[in-house]
Chains A and B, each alone.
Chain A
């Protein structure tokens, strides 16, 4: 029965896709040219409207204005060199309408059009997007200069856990001794132990968009349940169904933390987020000199 369903579904799937492509109206050179122009006009209008409605300036203005100018340029070139462009489109259309292998030709042509028109209009389709943007890096640092904060919100156990969350050996790549300010995350268990963790436990690419900034977490009920579930998975040495060592990491990859020595996940009681200052010394000991509790929530 299942096999019959599979066969029917398979045939239906192929027929549907084929008939879908075969129903595409017979396009002409003029059609393609008009689509190109419409896509470019959309590509000019949408960024301008976005800038005007949202009042962007700075990098966002530059980003959207760049696309408007690019599309405008393509538009001008398309009309200016129409006599060169039309024969090229004409060839594509002629190739498309060749009587052999119609399904192949229509498929390739349609996908090609989606790519190019999608690029001009900056459409995100889920399985396709108009490629990764370009950017440069500004000088950003987490090095802080005096006065060094002197918070001591952490108990002795928590301080040990916070120190355990530091990868001291990487200090040797710093140019010299400095103070670094950063965040830390701790898991607190019923037996009083505290251990370091990171947001990789959420299984979410950019968790801050869902759970807010580290100092002001939201959706904490869901966050607690997710962390608990994933922690159990990691303690079993797995990343979902595969062994952690061989599994494919998340798109945004975090430092690997070994959770196997931590108490069982069902004893997880609380999660806390900290701002810490580290005295990083390439030639000596790296330690936490300030720890400020920013936020915490109980896990249900």
Chain B
């Protein structure tokens, strides 16, 4: 990766004006995970489903029967974007042709997963997957649970080819480049909008009182009844039995509602990501068990909402040498830093007991610094994960803030969120 790019990208437009940290040097780990999971998930989907059945359907089956949302437009625009319009001119493909298209997606996903021409593979996989999805949408379902998978592949198709891990290339995690960061941001933006707009839809379609009129208990009761018949869509009676009280709806509804509406905060409030992602994963699980609608695979992609680069981002730990216990603890932490991601310096001048400064210049103090340090020590990962649970974080913060504050009323640094997307948004204002 060229130093030139790094130099250019750090040129300020205005002091501090580069909002959301989109253009920023970053380690490649998160992008590599995006590449790996997106290709794997698409491969998994296309190895599990047989699209060739659409080659057996008559022409009149492709008449967009489920147009509840899209019928505003005289022609559904996806007729054009998925290239279904070509069948207005040429005959619809038969089974072998559709099977060939599906194998193109499988081949491209598998090859991209291995890192052989990944960008080209992403373009090919996206084009054919979208076309096959268009057949589903034209004949029976306006969505089929693959939106995020397609978006992830689209992000890969739009990413610079230098960003991918590639077969036969030395893909060092120590390299830094802006090309690793903005595609990840783009993906998070898409996922954030996907869920937040779904929350907004609930306000528009039903009203802000949606959690109190969703009545999941009606669905649960119906699910139990239909679970006796194998012809019906899947529903798990055991799970449904937990939701037959309206109170489960009154409690679960607001949680889902708030998590959906607030999901865009994964861009700005990294500390909330665990709660938001966990809520959505549980939500998808319940939709699967209660209604037999499968969005469960989106959970793989939701894992990409965490800041994986934190595991490889380097940093400096500054310890106030006048605080004895803190200095002692640092010695132990230094031994746990297996990957040598941290350098330790003693500094009596700093205004608080412990400071962590990462390679992007982000500064964390005291409890926030401990969280950062824990994320870089494999033996402390459980602690790092726990600190992301809001209640645990609050309790730890209350407990240790007092302890740190004993340091003679020194100025406390603001506890900054732990990702490089948050800071410059604040500066932008």
Bound pair: A and B?
yes
Interface residues of A (CB under 8 A from B): 6, 9-10, 13-14, 17, 46-47, 50, 60, 62-64, 66-67, 70, 91, 94-95, 98, 100-101, 103-105, 107-108, 111-112, 115, 119, 121-143, 165-168, 170-171, 173-174, 180, 182-185, 196-199, 202-207, 209-210, 219, 222, 225-226, 229-230, 233, 239-242, 247-257, 276, 278, 280, 286
Verify if B398 is at the interface (C-beta below 8 Å from A): no
**Secondary structure type dominating chain B contacts:** helix
Interface residues of B (CB under 8 A from A): 8-9, 11, 13, 17-19, 22-23, 44-45, 47-51, 53, 56-58, 61, 65-66, 68-73, 76-78, 81-82, 106, 117, 119-120, 123, 126, 130, 133-134, 136-137, 139-147, 150-151, 154, 157-158, 160-161, 178-179, 182, 185-186, 189-190, 193-195, 197-198, 200-206, 210, 213-216, 218-219, 221-222, 224-234, 237-238, 240-241, 288, 292-295, 297, 428
Residues from chain B with Cβ under 8 Å of A142 in the complex: 222, 225-226
Given A10, A50, A124, A226, which contacts B137 in the complex, CB threshold below 8 Å?
A124
B50 touches A253 (CB 8 A): no
Q: Given A124-B76, A210-B61, A255-B234, is A101 in contact with B8 using a C-beta cutoff of 8 Å? A: yes
Nearest B residue (CB) for A103: B160
A204 touches B53 (CB 8 A): yes
Nearest B residue (CB) for A286: B228
Residues from chain A with Cβ under 8 Å of B198 in the complex: 131-132, 134
Q: How far is the CA of A107 from the CA of B203 in the complex (A)?
A: 30
Q: Given A128-B147, A206-B140, is A253 in contact with B293 using a C-beta cutoff of 8 Å? A: yes
Q: How far is the CA of A247 from the CA of B228 in the complex (A)?
A: 24
Q: How far is the CB of B251 from chain A (nearest CB, A)?
A: 16
B11 touches A128 (CB 8 A): no
Given A137, A199, A209, A278, which contacts B215 in the complex, CB threshold below 8 Å?
A137
Interchain Cβ contacts under 8 Å between A and B, 10 examples: A100-B23, A119-B197, A124-B76, A131-B194, A133-B202, A183-B232, A226-B53, A239-B49, A242-B44, A253-B233
Nearest B residue (CB) for A204: B140
Q: Given A95-B17, A130-B201, is A10 in contact with B226 using a C-beta cutoff of 8 Å? A: no
Q: Given A112-B189, A205-B140, A251-B294, is A100 in contact with B9 using a C-beta cutoff of 8 Å? A: yes
A108 touches B186 (CB 8 A): yes
Q: How far is the CB of B256 from chain A (nearest CB, A)?
A: 11
B147 touches A133 (CB 8 A): no
Residues from chain B with Cβ under 8 Å of A47 in the complex: 72
Residues from chain B with Cβ under 8 Å of A94 in the complex: 13, 17
